[in-house]
Amino acid sequence: MFDIARRTAFGAVLLLLMPAAVWLSGWLWTPGGNPSFLLPLYWVTETVSQPWGILTTVILCGWFLWCLRFRLKAAIGLVLMISVALLVGQSAKTYIKGEVREPRPYVAWLGTDHQMNVEEFYGLKRKARSQQVKDVLGDNAQIPHWLNKSWQNDTGYAFPSGHTMFAATWALLGIGLLWRRKHYKTVTFLMVWAVVVMGSRLMLGMHWPRDLMASVGISWILVTLACWLTERYIGPLTPPPAENQEIAQRDGE
């Protein structure tokens, strides 16, 4: 348990560096960024949004199963464990959002620059909130059409970030489950992807740095527990002797 917690904690600290630096710098989101820079970030954030997040989950589950080489029964158990970690994280996110009720940066901006009543806005049903965002923005040249539509589809509260929790959970699962098998390229890819997802949430006006930091902390707790349960009840995270030769060949590449 301690070894798993130590590895995942190291990964969590790495994920926290970017939002912590942004928070300490005092940077605040403002509209009007370069669309050619923001659009790629939007597509990265879409890998977590529905329905693409489901495809991302299926692909990553398949890749993790291939990397771990578990037998069928253990593989089914691993998929269930990963799914539970993701679902518990998203459920916790939904509950906390309803309790904290923190406006998103773009909603706060609509309140100050467009005289929109933020409290009344969040008192509306989701469909009515989407319509109000559309009506308030109109043909605002500062906001690209695709970002306008994204805001209309994402009108909930800000704290914590569900997108960050999803991406951070996968990145930390990579460290917890795959690091001992030396799948360093996969772990590196997942960590970079998670950081870019987090950055996209800041740059698109969806979240504050503290939202991302809280989400990483929640993900770390869930992943540490999930990895420990995996090792205890499903299979060892250290590679079996038959796999050591393949790992040695991978190291020699």
| Residue 167 to residue 169: CA distance in whole angstroms | 5
Specify whether the CB–CB gap between 56 and 48 falls below 8 A.
Answer: yes
| Residue 156 to residue 163: CA distance in whole angstroms | 13
Instruction: From the candidates 114, 145, 183, 207, give the one annotated as an active-site residue.
Output: 207
207 has catalytic annotation? yes
How far is residue 99 CA from its own chain's centroid?
Answer: 20
| Residue 52 to residue 150: CA distance in whole angstroms | 14
Q: Any alpha helices (H) in 103-207, and if so which ranges? A: 105-113, 118-122, 126-137, 145-153, 162-173, 184-203
Instruction: Name residue 1's amino acid.
Output: M
Tokens 């329905």 label which residue?
Answer: 51
Instruction: From the candidates 114, 145, 163, 183, give the one annotated as an active-site residue.
Output: 163
Q: What DSSP element (H or E) covers 18?
A: helix 2-25
| Residue 117 phi, psi dihedral angles, 5° rounding | -75, 105
163 has catalytic annotation? yes
Question: What are the structure tokens assigned to 164, written together?
Answer: 């960050």
Specify whether the CB–CB gap between 237 and 177 falls below 8 A.
Answer: yes
Point out the residues that are catalytic: 163, 207
